[in-house]
Amino acid sequence: MKMRNVRKYLKEFNGVSITAQRELLMGLIHKSQGHISAKELYKNAVKKNGSISLATVYRNLKLFKELGIIEERRFGNLSCYYELKHANSHQHLVCKCCGTIIEFETPLIQKIIEQVEENYSFNVLKAEIYLEGFCKECNNADNNTVRGYSMS
């Protein structure tokens, strides 16, 4: 991502200053083109700026989240994943074996939201579908493992 665009992003918000760390982190999040954890982001950032701290990564992830630039997701793990907020909402399909994360969309989620708003008088602000299973390749392989554990 061009520096100019990052600046544009951040400049829209009053009182938020543009620092080298923020530009770096935003650039890396853009490059990740998908989901990245705080630790991965930190590791990548250190390669470019040896003195950046994990605290700065967390603080800025929190800031970007509050500014509505990124979203935070949990995929069963203890740690979170972060991704740029897309215009179009999408859902996640995760392989228990190889960890591949596939994004997909479905108009049915809108139907579900409507049903729930109707039935429970709820004002739904966020809808997430999380599907887990085995992808084609892992399903065929013999030596399946689930996040490091053998499942023979």
Q: Which of 97, 106, 87, 84 is nearest to 6 (CA)?
A: 84
Contact of residue 112 among DNA, its own copies, none (CB under 5-8 Å per partner type)? its own copies
Binding residues vs its own copies (CB under 8 A): 74, 76, 93, 95-96, 102, 104, 106, 108-109, 111-113, 115-116, 119-136, 139
Write the single-letter amino acid at 70.
Answer: I
Look at the block and give the residue holding tokens 């228990």. 96
Contact of residue 15 among its own copies, DNA, none (CB under 5-8 Å per partner type)? DNA
CB 1 within 8 A of CB 26: yes
By rule CB under 7 A, what string of x and - marks binding of each residue 40-69 to DNA? ---------x-xxxxxx-xxxxx-------
Q: C-beta of 150: minimal distance to DNA in Å?
A: 15
CB 75 within 8 A of CB 92: yes
The Cα–Cα gap between 93 and 72 comes to 16
Residue 37 is a binding residue for DNA (CB under 7 A): yes
Contact of residue 152 among its own copies, DNA, none (CB under 5-8 Å per partner type)? none
